[in-house]
Structure 1
């Protein structure tokens, strides 16, 4: 569980300074007063206490105990993301209707899932969600990991029904361009294998669709080895589902400042759970190998690699 009070999610900076400079609040008490006022005026919710506020980049997550239960209030000051945040927040209600365990936003008194409000230092995009009760995924629990894989497949099936507009260039082209312009040479043998696999890659079946794009331990809540919540849809993109599965396999074990490669056995459990719901076809299986290798190489932080990302590829 995240600490009580004011803290940073991953950045090594003083949270009081970040709260003031980024959002204009003179401490946790001032933020609590603002949240209490806007929840009362906009949502008709009465706040009792405010135990926790966490800052992540241009975003903040605020926990509140209220007459509507335990809530999280999420806001962002990044105006360039406001439109995509509107879309990802609206997506949650649709996914819940399809049986995906997500935190459905509490509507405002006007029936809106997310609104833009004036904060002390500028406009903020704000949404309110119920707290989901569960623990972050423990990758040593292989039953839970298989359940997470099955949940990811169910999520992909649900997202397939959602409209998808913008999409990136083809995977083959992106990886080829990266090998020329983006590869830092931190794992030359792995990069050589990637070139060989890419040269023999089949055509990838199926159209790109919306995918989660950040499916990992910190965004999967578990209770009794079952998935009770999938969090953080702010990074949803249009991509092939197998790309999302491969990315999840590489980053599944990461949490905030604790970034370590996912053990091979854990990756196998995640994929097995996924394929129990949505089996990969032959082309997807070939691309899965390519994409896990590519994502693994890209995850290497540099010459200083104490977590062993390079040895994991």
Structure 2
């Protein structure tokens, strides 16, 4: 691992903090090499896999992601240092597998020995998934916008049937269903003329699907920095594609408009 460790880069996903300091303060690793050794050991013990290279480490709040190579396959190991969300992370991993089994393109977690898809080890909650190659969704391409609207509708329809309760801070309000709550370009991979994967369901919660649609319509083009609201014409095309698969109830038209306006007003957009 020595040569791989020397090549490992470390960065922050969206914060302006110093990544090396964050790695030590949040996760207790003195260096990227030490973190690489830890993840290699954890995957060997719990998955029976050998890490042959670690390309980079990326820190996002309480999570650390490692882009690794295992037996010639590129994978991502992701671990959290916040114990209060461990049960929720395990539930989200099971939801992701369930969606994948029903034809929703997701990056399905790879089960460890014993069948668990999220493993608690050394005070962290660790999961493993394959890298999905492609580009982030481009909202300047009408084909991609249409596919995104249709995909969100498919996800809403599937998640409404999910049999397990996802842990949340508050019980669901009347009319709420399980939704992804973070459907946007940063979490959508486009490849081969279609959506190859919807990533990162960690924000999943219970709310009205019209509210989730309004949020997605406004934030569809956002990635990691310098957010801009989705242009009105793109929002319209996105919503139309959604309704071609899963029409809104008659009373939801006004709610969608109100939701879009609330999202536009809620965020402090860059000048």
TM-score where L is the length of structure 1: 0.80
* Residue 39 (structure 1) shift: 0.5
Q: 2:52 is matched with which residue: 48, 54, 58?
A: 48
Within the alignment, does 1:105 sit opposite 2:109 as a pair? yes
The correspondence for 1:215, drawn from 180, 183, 187, is: 183
1:266 to 206, 224, 234: 234
* C-alpha distance in structure 1 between counterparts of 2:44 and 2:131, whole Å: 18
User: Structure 2 unaligned runs (5+)?
Assistant: 1-7
Contact 2:137 2:185 in 1 (8 A): yes
Structure 1 residue ranges (4+ consecutive) displaced by more than 3 angstroms after TM superposition: 163-170
For 2:229 and 2:204, the matched residues in 1 are separated by: 22
Q: Paired residue for 2:30?
A: 26
1:300 corresponding residue in structure 2: 268
Cα distance in 2 for residues equivalent to 1:93 and 1:255: 25
Distance across 1 between alignment mates of 2:226 and 2:200? 18
CA RMSD of aligned residues (A): 1.5
For structure 1, the 5+ residue unaligned runs are 171-206, 307-313
Q: 1:95 aligns with which of 91, 96, 99?
A: 99
Structure 2 Cα separation of the partners of residues 225 and 147 of structure 1: 9
2:146 alignment counterpart: 146
Which protein has the larger Cα radius of gyration, Structure 1 or Structure 2? 1
Judged with a 3 Å threshold, the aligned counterparts in structure 2 of structure 1 residues 225 and 144 are, in CA distance, closer, same or farther, namely farther
Alpha-carbon shift at residue 284 of structure 1 (Å): 1.4
Aligned residue pairs, count: 260
Counterpart position of 1:190: none
If asked which structure has higher relative contact order (CA below 8 Å, sep 6+), I would say 1
TM-score by length of 2: 0.92
- For residues 145-184 of structure 1, the aligned pairs below 5 Å read 145-163=145-163, 164=165, 167-169=171-173
Q: Secondary structure at the match of 2:120?
A: strand
Question: Aligned ranges for residues 194-273 of structure 1 at < 5 Å?
Answer: 207-273=175-241
Cα distance, 1:209–1:169 mapped onto 2, change above 3 Å: closer
Instruction: Give the direction of change, closer, same or farther, for the CA distance of 1:168–1:111 in structure 2 (3 Å limit).
Output: closer
Maintained 8 Å contact 2:75/2:129: yes
Counterpart mapping for 1:69-148 below 5 A: 69-118=73-122, 123-148=123-148
